[in-house]
Amino acid sequence: MIKELSVLSDLHLPHANLAKIRLKIEVEESELILFAGDVLDAFDEKLLQEFLQTFADLPQPKLLVLGNHDLWQDKPHTDALYEDYLQFPWQEYGFHLLDKEPIIFGNTAFCGNMGWYDYSLRLTHDFDWPVIACDELLRWETMNNDEIRNLLQTAATKSFKDLNESDFARKILLVQNNGRWESLHWYDRLYINWGKSDQEMTAYFLHRLEEQLQETRGLEQVVVLHHAPILPRLAAEGVLDAYLSAFNGSKRFWDLICQYDVKTVIHGHLHRKAVFTWKNVRVYSCYGLMDTIRI
């Protein structure tokens, strides 16, 4: 029976010290090691090998889900890369990719995948900053100063609180904050391309999770996601915070989780450590190496 977990998330390699992390995990002597996505800052085969080799000889089972950054590429064919990850020989390094299939230890089943976002978890607010949200912004990287100036003078503005789903789908926005225009970005726009909408991708990962939950029904189920199914806080602290919250995850995962006998949910992506209980489910929002989790 697995009870004590070492949980890590959002290492964004190379921006983490693997040797130090390994040492801390060795000292913890937990029964299982879990990575909740964004091991890499962008796809890099060498870094992935380095990561796997760092932990390969530790005796515990090692589970992971992928994160959006693990799929970042310059010329993104995200569905092909995701498929490559599913086919990768993780077991040679003692790893198990939950995105591919659940895993059972005694009467505990670990189910999960990276999840996705559909803007449904954006923080409710009535901020009325003026914003420009239009398709011209999709050319942002190649726009020159004259074009940007022209856009600022001619484009229609609306209020931040009136942003709709297609505005968030662009993943770029101009906002007037304290009298100055600034651009807000969700960079999956440049490095992720599924060839499908975020709503469709959310539905896809939701369906895959549901299959796993059905398959392991009757066992104690632990759900691991990268993107959040619920938020640990209620208020946006500013314009950037309010905008980025659209890409946190999706409420639909929480609705699904509540239909099953899930007692523990572990996710990453928010870069915020938080632990709370909601509707009898213990939720761990992970960032970096967490204190040992007891399930």
Report residue 5 as tokens. 């977990």
String marking each residue 7-46 x if it binds Mn ion according to CB under 5 A? -------------------------------x--------
Number of residues that bind Mn ion (CB under 5 A): 4
Residue 63 burial by CB count (10 A; 0-12/13-18/19+): exposed, middle or buried? buried
Q: Which is nearer to Mn ion, 62 or 269 (CB)?
A: 269
Q: Applying CB under 5 A, does 68 fall inside the site for Mn ion?
A: yes
Q: Applying CB under 5 A, does 171 fall inside the site for Mn ion?
A: no
Q: Which is nearer to Mn ion, 34 or 109 (CB)?
A: 34
The H helix count followed by the E strand count for the chain is: 9, 16
**Least distance (Å) between residue 70 CB and Mn ion:** 9
Q: Which is nearer to Mn ion, 67 or 112 (CB)?
A: 67
Q: Applying CB under 5 A, does 250 fall inside the site for Mn ion?
A: no
**Least distance (Å) between residue 183 CB and Mn ion:** 20
Q: Which is nearer to Mn ion, 39 or 174 (CB)?
A: 39
Q: How far apart are CA 218 and CA 237, in angstroms?
A: 41
Per-residue exposure over 163-172, b if at least 16 CB sit within 10 Å of its own CB, e if not: beeebbbbbb
Q: Applying CB under 5 A, does 269 fall inside the site for Mn ion?
A: yes
Cα torsion 31, 266, 254, 204: sign: negative
Rounded to a whole number, what is the largest CA-CA distance in the chain? 64
Residue nearest to Mn ion (CB): 269
Q: How far apart are CA 272 and CA 288, in angstroms?
A: 9
Q: Applying CB under 5 A, does 78 fall inside the site for Mn ion?
A: no
Q: How far apart are CA 120 and CA 252, in angstroms?
A: 8
The single-letter DSSP state of residue 249 is B
* Site residues (CB under 5 A) for Mn ion, limited to 95-134: none
**Least distance (Å) between residue 132 CB and Mn ion:** 26
Closest CA to 34 of 1, 11, 13, 68: 11
Question: Which span sits near Mn ion by CB under 5 A: 150-158, 199-207, 241-249, 265-273?
Answer: 265-273
Q: Which residues bind Mn ion (CB under 5 A)?
A: 38, 67-68, 269
